[in-house]
Structure 1
């Protein structure tokens, strides 16, 4: 059985994008990038909303990214190795291998996917993650917190939802970034305990 992990970069005030929809306040950092790649390697399936999938698909469709450095090649390889499910009502086709489109988020289907998984799954995109949180499917929340206040934008965590968390691990990086790994209290790997 796999765990469903929500992994996201957030500003210290909790946003994944600023008010203009930009996330260019995330400066490149090799140490954080290598750490994120390590997490990605543990995932056999990536669940994405349409916008995040389209942003991430370049790791397979643009070979020049992997050619830039060994770090980028390792990330591209890890990303390509995972199966991908894209939740979209508008996307008509995908540009990457081992990827399928689902028209709606079905909690029962994701629960079955977790039960059959031999490795962890990640959920990406704040809207999709909010649905997974609401359905009681998220087992871990991993926040990569950047030392910047953006003052508004798209929240990284769902609003209107109460969830108690247990801190499982933390890591500080030399650039001031902190990784916080939380388990959702009272939940087993299959959802609500």
Structure 2
């Protein structure tokens, strides 16, 4: 069975965006970018909430973005190769290929998707990830912790629930970012 992996960038104080809804508080870094691309290379399906999907869709809809560098072209290629499932009640249609729109998160359907998948899946977006955590679907949690404190905003991990995690791996990057890879205890 494929794993469902929650991958996100968080500030040192645990937020994916600040109080104004901004999540572009970290500078781009080639080393972290290449690592992220390699991580996604083994993923077959990306599960997104609407906001994250809309921000990531540019990797297919804006050719100029991929033309900026070989690293960006590689990421665009990897992102486009994956199937995407977008969960939204407000989005009318999707703008990218190999993308399916779902109106609600259905844990049973995601379990079936994991069971049928030949490669891992990621879940992105804190609200969607919270639903996956609550349903017991998250097999790994991978956090890119950035060396910045934003003081508040949207938490990167679920509130109101406990999840004991076992550290599987960590990596420190030259720019101060730390990648932490966990799995829920008992899985």
Length-normalised TM-score, structure 1: 0.96
Structure 2 SS opposite 1:92? coil
Match of 1:116 in 2: 116
Match of 2:151 in 1: 151
Alignment of 1:161-176 (within 5 A): 161-176=161-176
Structure 1 SS opposite 2:52? helix
The answer for unaligned runs of 5 or more in structure 1 is 188-193
Aligned-pair CA distance for 1:85: 0.2
Match of 2:61 in 1: 61
Aligned-pair CA distance for 1:26: 1.1
Aligned-pair CA distance for 1:186: 1.2
Match of 1:31 in 2: 31
In the TM superposition, structure 1's runs of 4+ consecutive aligned residues that sit over 6 Å from their partners are none
Aligned-pair CA distance for 1:13: 0.2
Aligned-pair CA distance for 1:24: 2.2
Length-normalised TM-score, structure 2: 0.99
Aligned-pair CA distance for 1:185: 0.7
Structure 2 SS opposite 1:136? coil
Structure 2 residue 179 is matched with structure 1 residue 179: yes
Structure 2 residue 136 is matched with structure 1 residue 132: no
Aligned-partner Cα distance in 2 for 1:24–1:110: 29
Match of 2:50 in 1: 50
Structure 2 SS opposite 1:91? coil
**1:121-140 deviation per Cα after TM superposition (whole angstroms, max 9, x unaligned):** 00000000000000000000
Aligned-partner Cα distance in 2 for 1:147–1:90: 34
